[in-house]
Amino acid sequence: MQFLQLFISGIAQGCIYGLIALGFVLIYKATETVSFAQGELMMLGAFFGLAAMGGLGFPFWLAVLSAIGAMALFGLVLEKVVIRPILGQPAFSIVMLTIGIGYVARGLVTMIPGIGTETRTLPVPYKDQAWNVGGLVLNVEQMVVIAATALLCALLYAVFRYSKVGLAMQAASQNQLAAYYMGIPVKRLNSLAWALAAGVAAIAGLLLAPITFVHANMGFIGLKAFPAAVVGGFGSLPGAIAGGLVIGVVESLSGFYLPEGFKDTAPYIVVLVMLVVLPNGLFGEKLRKKV
Amino acid sequence: QQQGVSKSEILIGTIQDLSGPIAAFGKQARMGMQLRVDEINEQGGIQGRRLKLAVEDSAYDPKKAVLAAQKLVNQDKVFLIAGHIGTAQNMAAMPVQFEKNIINFMPITAAREMYEPLHRLKYSFAATYYDQIRTALPKLVKEKNAKKVCTLYQDDDFGLEVQRGAEAGLKAVGMDVGEKTTYKRGATDFSSQVAKLKASGCEVVVLGTIIRETIGAIAEARKTGYNPTFLGSSAAYTDLIHKLGGKAVDGLYATMTVQHPYLDEASQPIRFWATKYKTKFNEDPTVFSVYGYSIVDQFARVAQKAGPNLTTDSFIKAMDGMTFEPDIFGSPISTYTATKHLGNELSRLSQIQDGRWKVVSDYVRP
Amino acid sequence: MTSNPPAVSDLPVLRLSNVESAYGPIKAIRGVSLQVRRGEIATVLGANGAGKTTILKTISGILDPRKGSIAFKGEDITARDPAWIVQEGLCHVPEGREVFPLLSVRDNLLMGAYTRRDRDGVARDLEAVYRYFPVLKERATQDAGLLSGGQQQMLAISRALMAAPHLILLDEPSLGLSPKLTREIFEIVVRINRERGTTLLLVEQNANMALATADYGYVLENGRIVMEDTCARLREKEDIKEFYLGVKEAGVRGERRWKKKKTWR
Amino acid sequence: MPTQTTDTLLSARHLGVRFGGVLAVNDVSFDVRRGEVLTLIGPNGAGKTTVFNLISRIYNPTTGSIAFEGRPLTRQPPHRIAALGIARTFQNIELFEHASVLHNLLVGRHTHRRTGVLHDMLFTRSARAAEVEAREKVERVIDLLDLQHHRDATVAGLPYGVRKVVELARALCTEPKLLLLDEPSSGLNVEETGDMAFWIQDIRAELGITVLMVEHDMSLVSRVSDRVVAMNQGEVVAIGTPAQVQRDARVVEAYLGPSEGVAPAPEAIR
Amino acid sequence: MRFVFKTTYEQDIRLAKHAGHVFWYGLLLVLLVAAPLLLPEYLLAQLTFILIYGIVGLGLMLLAGFTGLFSIGHAAFFGVGAYAQAALTGLGWPFPLALAAGAALSAAVGVVVGLPALRVKGIYLGIATLSFGFIVQEVFARWESVTGGNVGKSVGAVRMFGWTADTARSFYLVCLVLAVLATLVCANLLRSPTGRAFVAIRDSEISAQSMGIHLARYKTLSFAISAALAGVGGALYAHQIRFLSPDQFDIVQSIDLLLMVVIGGLGSLHGAFLGATFLIGLPQAISGVKDYLPEAVGQAPGLKAVVYGGVLVAFVLFEPLGLYGRWVKVRTYLMLFPFYRRGMFRRQKAFQKSERLR
Ligand SMILES: Nc1ncnc2c1ncn2[C@@H]1O[C@H](COP(=O)(O)OP(=O)(O)OP(=O)(O)O)[C@@H](O)[C@H]1O
Ligand SMILES: Nc1ncnc2c1ncn2[C@@H]1O[C@H](COP(=O)(O)OP(=O)(O)OP(=O)(O)O)[C@@H](O)[C@H]1O
Ligand SMILES: [Mg+2]
Ligand SMILES: [Mg+2]
């Protein structure tokens, strides 16, 4: 029973990691860069949701939709203003850029008087509810995260696997030059990818808000989602979820059964072990250059 | 020639976290200090000298704290540094100050290193987390008739102080800490910690937690149907706890040294003060505003007493032998002597009742 | 093959006037003017580093020219977005293959048809391409990055065919292909030109083949066009014979060889 | 043509490698004799490059073995191959893009380094001497291949043809016994191909380096090679002199195509 | 442009390529040696930090800029050096001995961290080093007998053979000597086969290997040298800051270090020191001007993060080659002066290519 309850908690927490990791993988698949700003986008999404509910008095669902919309728009603008100009530079430049964007986003939010340094809650309708199923406590907030994560993952998977646009995104990330030669609108797709990523981040932010609260530093949880994405295999969407679950469960179990200190390092130990045993993660493709 | 003191001005420095993880507190402390500085200047200053506050940002990073201290001490040439926030930050900055005979006045951290070992340039005002828990816990254990006490604390110097306080307090009544659990700063998931506490059947849980973690841990416990008595330190004594935590955190105890200045507080002077603060900064005051305010206030009183020839030595002379009577925020009497550089080691217990902090005990005498 | 030229209209599909391109401080082409008429196969000959690839890159918008202008079907396309230029009907088979290494061969081909909307047409062209290069059909599901060099070259050419463009720029299509396939490639080039009326601009080291296939030729040296004429006439010129077709007297060669030896000692 | 010795430098026996469903190389056996130029020909995808990759230990053979100077290669780690005396070029050019030509060639001297890291850090007298010597050797290769003009240029900006030569130069800098050239003339025009032919002959004659190459330009093949191995679909279909192989029906069928199989262009035969 | 007529190979090998180099670097060194006499104490302390971070930057530059391996866990090595120094000098070891031991220990840890680098690349390596950083930080917090755990640990002044560098000036000189030595070591490495092997690995692993470069050995070596330099920097840091706690060596520190070399200019040794100047100088510059800004901006929390991030974004957008790249352009402009042509440094369209296959 104890074990089961811990396991379920782990799954739920893992879905949170998986949800954030989805954002990483999405950007990676579409642009082959790693966005260190994903956590901050999530934070902004949560603040948008807060503004919509608190400031504009929208009902919950409308607030969610408008926050996602606003963030997608924000992603578009962000891409246009700072990422577009260096499109085509080595991926590492863009990684650095996202770190910079993260700093600026966090700093700017902190600068808003009366809001920036505060911690707030998002009044979701399902707050603080729990189901009791045969002695197990299922947290509604977490169940919503699980459902949303599964849905989102399936959706994104379909886009990348079957749609022409999804394929073209991957093509552009693998060889931008060739993509241009084929008439693939690389820039537009890039905008689309960032808009999508910002939208996904907004969803993550809104779903996480009841659990982590809304504050300028809430994006730091993204650091735990990196191991999740790596364990799953960085380019794989189902891998992101699987990796998240592994990390979540390991964390939960090691917190209970292992000595103090292991709970926080367990995910990182798992990553290191994983990289030694399966360097490409659970679902990552084995890549080899042919010469 | 004493640095930082001119004919017309006294320059004091402070180092706050203005862009790091506890920027919220740093900002409030700064505003509290500024409020008192402005008041003093309006009233004609200290011995005819205006007071000026130089603020540096440490971003809660010891390296930046050192650089900030170096700037304040060697470049801006402040008279002393007051209300510096953070334990590690203070530890890193103090050597820089002491080299130049600059006092570290009332840092905003309740660690024992702020006055121990005794140093002529170190002064601290607040009962340490260690003392708070050490004195409050036995009382609560007796009241609740608890058999088993556990701890959940943040895995850093702050959390450790709480944990050690709990150990010492329990030892005094012949008990041991039942289960020790920790988490890392910024953690959001407490399921395994709470599971552990629940499994061991603790009736009182001492929380070495700050804000979000306090709420997160209590909420997790309530959801899993585990309802022990929770006791936090003054770090958890902020209005954010009940604002964010809602119903779940009702019943939480916390030790505290100064009272939270609610805008609709029953006590008239506090209400007046809080309104003044809100008018000036357009933000609600918190205990950190009060800390900042009191620190500058106490500085001014000592400087006044030190007389027109203000130097580090004359300030220390005035300070060693100073007694501060209780102020409007209900702090206890605190005294300083040449061998006692901690104002007092007393704290009170508060409890969240109906979504707001209520003082539930007088100062607990150890 | 060239005995029966198709209906070449005098209207240029592509016209470069005085184009100058540079990589940083290095000027690669200086004032190149050329035109390709509708329905013809044009070719650019030149030594290594003469700037042939640079001309093609400038046309397809990969490189922005410093000076001059480029017009495609009467429209100015100078320094436009490369993707837009392709959508206008200009497709470029780049030097060095440039396949999408982690997509399957089939997906690579479909990406070639990205700009097209007619599903049936795409399916038909896919079959046609598979007929030209059966090995691509065999390997349809394999990652393109794992194909052999020559197979990747086939894929790169096929991908351009999938776009069904008005004008194809071919940069060294025979690179790394077996002699048999090299000839087949040129046959395909001619067929596409004759059957679909596609215009082609061809850059090729195998000058023999290029001059036999193309209608009109330009000779590029150090970034400048030094000669242009119909291919039939170019083939007769002494210089062309010596430097591009390899018909030369032994004496010149022998001398160089001796010089080489001396430097080595 | 210099006289050939018959002693075997490298021998491949029953080599086979499989990638998933693709049998890229299947039961391939051949010998490379010391001092000869041996050419692998075959249609695209025949497995020629894969044979090179097997020799340079980038792939592990599924079956069979390779011996170099009588020693089995299959147990050597990939980075030892160069030290044993085998250098190669790549079909798709693998240079150090962000370094100068000189720098690229100096890396080619790596197997001849005599100083350890500590000497390098302190740049001791011996490190300095080794460095001067390395540069002398490299300059000689630069002279041989006429690269003076590009000596300090960054590789990234060089035209395709020059890069091919730089790759050859880098391989020569390792002072190999066996040189593997993957399509040395692809991307070169007739004149440059001619130069390449002379270089290959020089390398063999003057430097005594054995050459194993893959090549599609039959005029070059006939001009420089002593023997030719023809492959198709991973298998060896013919071994012999260039003229013999070019007359082989299967080679004509699969590789040369009907019209050219009869005789190579006259000037290619010397 | 300056043309140097070369007559011997020696000229290619020398560190200073021409008389101008000798003059300018000589002048710089003279100024640095004279700095304790010229600068006020506060600026000297900053300069000391710059030298310390410069040493760490050199190491990271070697790893990231020249070998192409990105480490997001460098604070771990930095911390190992710092704690080793604290522990060993605490036991009474003389400074040079403790320093050497600390550097060796860091290098050993570097070798361990380098192990995953043999199998993984790119983002995977980044996450592996990041994970390692977290684990090492946890060790700092848990190994209380040596590190003092979360309570922290105090560090004394530099002491060796009866001499104590307990003033800011004397300690600055210690740092200067070590920084110069570290720079020379790195410059030497880069002009020798080892350095070339690093660059080869960065550009093409497969062909580096076929040139006889033992990938595993050189990657590990790069990690070890880089970690050792970080360890030396950490040791000096320990003396400079005099109080160590685990949270000084967290992910933020690691990212700061990485940003430092990027802003300085990846692939140049100058960049390490330019980046360090930037990292230390910027916060000071901000706090210098913030008092002149309107209250709502100047006193707002978060200002520093915004400026810091903004500058980083601006660098990536406008000067991807970092401070050193900018300096090269300025220098070229001056040297070419009236003949400088516009567009000479114009950024070309560039096209990203998958780095998964390398
Ligand atoms: N990326 C680059 N950076 C700098 N210079 C370049 C770059 N690409 C090409 N060049 C230079 O531009 C000139 C022309 O190159 P280009 O590739 O167009 O020649 P090419 O005629 O296609 O040669 P090849 O037959 O070898 O393909 C060459 O001198 C080359 O050095
Ligand atoms: N790593 C690999 N994974 C899967 N298939 C591979 C791999 N390497 C080679 N192949 C396959 O093996 C076959 C032989 O490839 P190889 O590169 O040896 O051909 P090649 O003879 O060099 O041809 P070309 O003349 O076109 O270069 C090809 O069909 C190729 O697709
Ligand atoms: Mg070209
Ligand atoms: Mg091949």
For residue A243, tell me if it sits in a domain. Answer: no
| Range from D139-148, D212-221, E311-320 carrying the lowest mean pLDDT | E311-320
Which of D97, D101, D158 has most ligand 1 atoms within 8 Å of its beta carbon, as the pocket-test mutant?
D158
Distance from chain centroid for Cα B65: 18
| Range from A81-90, C256-265, E156-165 carrying the lowest mean pLDDT | C256-265
Residue E302, chain A, CB below 8 Å: the answer is yes
pLDDT level of residue A197 (50, 70, 90 thresholds): very high
**Digit-coded pLDDT (tens) for E126-142:** 888 999 999 999 899 88
For residue A89, tell me if it sits in a domain. Answer: yes
For residue A122, tell me if it sits in a domain. Answer: yes
Most confident by average pLDDT, A114-118, B77-81, B84-88, B260-264: B77-81
Pairing of strands D8-19, D63-68: antiparallel
Measured from the CA of D42, which atom of ligand 2 is nearest?
A: 21
| Range from A7-16, B295-304, C13-22, E270-279 carrying the lowest mean pLDDT | A7-16
Residue A291, chain D, CB below 8 Å: the answer is yes
As a whole number, mean pLDDT of residues B14-21 equals 86
Task: Give the Cα separation of B124 and B110 in Å (integer).
Answer: 8
Averaged pLDDT score across all residues of chain A: 87
Domain count, chain A: 1
As a whole number, mean pLDDT of residues D139-161 equals 89
| Range from B285-289, C253-257, D82-86 carrying the lowest mean pLDDT | C253-257
Min distance A75 CA to chain E CA atoms (Å): 16
As a whole number, mean pLDDT of residues E15-27 equals 79
Which of C30, C52, C93, C169 has most ligand 1 atoms within 8 Å of its beta carbon, as the pocket-test mutant?
C52
User: Which residues of E fall within a CB distance of 8 Å from B59?
Assistant: 283, 304-305
pLDDT at E212: 93
Of C63, C101, C102, the CB nearest to E349: C63
| Residue E336 alpha carbon to ligand 1 centre in Å | 25
Give Cβ neighbours of residue D227 (< 8 Å, ≥ 6 apart): D36, D38, D39, D239, D240, D241, D242
As a whole number, mean pLDDT of residues B136-149 equals 89
pLDDT at E341: 61
Alpha helices in chain E (DSSP H): 10-13, 19-38, 41-60, 74-90, 95-117, 122-142, 144-147, 168-190, 193-203, 205-210, 215-241, 251-264, 269-289, 295-298, 303-318, 322-336
Task: Give the Cα separation of A150 and A156 in Å (integer).
Answer: 10
In the predicted structure, residue D270 carries a pLDDT above the cut 50:
no
**Digit-coded pLDDT (tens) for D199-227:** 999 999 989 999 999 999 999 999 999 99
- Do A275 and E124 make contact, defined as CB atoms within 8 angstroms? yes
In the predicted structure, residue B205 carries a pLDDT above the cut 50:
yes
Q: The domain containing residue A199 runs over which residues?
A: 16-219
In the predicted structure, residue A114 carries a pLDDT above the cut 80:
no
Q: Of A174, A146, A188, A193, whose CA–CA distance to A287 is shortest?
A: A174
How many CB pairs below 8 Å do chains A and E form together? 164
As a whole number, mean pLDDT of residues A93-109 equals 90
Most confident by average pLDDT, A23-32, B100-109, E222-231: E222-231
pLDDT at E263: 87
pTM for the predicted model, two decimal places: 0.89
Residue ranges for chain C with pLDDT beneath 50: 1-6, 250-265
Please give the torsion angle defined by the CA atoms of residues A17, A19, A21 and A24, in that order, rounded to the nearest 10 degrees: -150
For residue A201, tell me if it sits in a domain. Answer: yes
As a whole number, mean pLDDT of residues D52-79 equals 92
pLDDT level of residue E344 (50, 70, 90 thresholds): low
Give Cβ neighbours of residue D149 (< 8 Å, ≥ 6 apart): none
Measured from the CA of C148, which atom of ligand 2 is nearest?
A: 17
In the predicted structure, residue A76 carries a pLDDT above the cut 70:
yes
Distance from chain centroid for Cα C243: 20
How much of chain B, in percent, has pLDDT values that exceed 70? Answer: 99
Tokens of B283: 């933000």
Pairing of strands B334-335, B323-324: antiparallel
For residue A86, tell me if it sits in a domain. Answer: yes
Task: Considering only residues A123 and C38, tell me which one the structure prediction assigns the higher pLDDT.
Answer: C38
Min distance B103 CA to chain A CA atoms (Å): 30
**Digit-coded pLDDT (tens) for E42-75:** 889 889 999 999 999 999 999 999 998 989 999 9
Measured from the CA of C153, which atom of ligand 2 is nearest?
A: 26
pLDDT level of residue B338 (50, 70, 90 thresholds): confident
Task: For ligand 3, an ion, list residues with CB under 5 A.
Answer: C 53, 95
In the predicted structure, residue B277 carries a pLDDT above the cut 80:
yes
pLDDT at D267: 34
Task: Give the Cα separation of B36 and B41 in Å (integer).
Answer: 9
**Digit-coded pLDDT (tens) for E180-213:** 999 999 999 998 999 999 999 998 889 999 999 9
pLDDT level of residue E345 (50, 70, 90 thresholds): low
pLDDT level of residue D1 (50, 70, 90 thresholds): very low
| Range from B135-139, B289-293, D224-228, E167-171 carrying the lowest mean pLDDT | E167-171
Of C60, C93, C101, the CB nearest to A174: C101
For residue A177, tell me if it sits in a domain. Answer: yes
In the predicted structure, residue E173 carries a pLDDT above the cut 50:
yes
Helix, strand or coil for residue E320? coil
pLDDT at A233: 85
DSSP characters over E99-112: HHHHHHHHHHHHHH
Of E185, E196, E221, the CB nearest to D106: E196
**Phi, psi of B248, rounded to the nearest 5 degrees:** -55, -35
pLDDT at D32: 95
Task: Give the Cα separation of A190 and A165 in Å (integer).
Answer: 11
Tokens of D140: 């000689």
In the predicted structure, residue E294 carries a pLDDT above the cut 70:
yes
Residue D175, classified by CB atoms within 10 Å of its CB into exposed (0-12), middle (13-18) or buried (19+), is middle
Task: Give the Cα separation of D266 and D146 in Å (integer).
Answer: 28
In the predicted structure, residue A187 carries a pLDDT above the cut 50:
yes
Pairing of strands C216-221, C224-230: antiparallel
Closest residue of E to C80, CA-based?
A: E349
In the predicted structure, residue E1 carries a pLDDT above the cut 80:
no
Q: In the Cβ-directed half-sphere of D212, how many Cα atoms lie within 13 Å? A: 28
Identify which ligand lies nearest to the alpha carbon of D182: 4
- Do D202 and C264 make contact, defined as CB atoms within 8 angstroms? yes
In the predicted structure, residue D264 carries a pLDDT above the cut 90:
no
Residue D120, chain C, CB below 8 Å: the answer is no
| Residue E251 alpha carbon to ligand 2 centre in Å | 44
As a whole number, mean pLDDT of residues B76-83 equals 93
pLDDT at A179: 93
| Range from A141-145, C32-36, C217-221, D67-71 carrying the lowest mean pLDDT | A141-145
For residue A283, tell me if it sits in a domain. Answer: no
pLDDT level of residue E346 (50, 70, 90 thresholds): low
Task: Give the Cα separation of C195 and C210 in Å (integer).
Answer: 19
For residue A111, tell me if it sits in a domain. Answer: yes
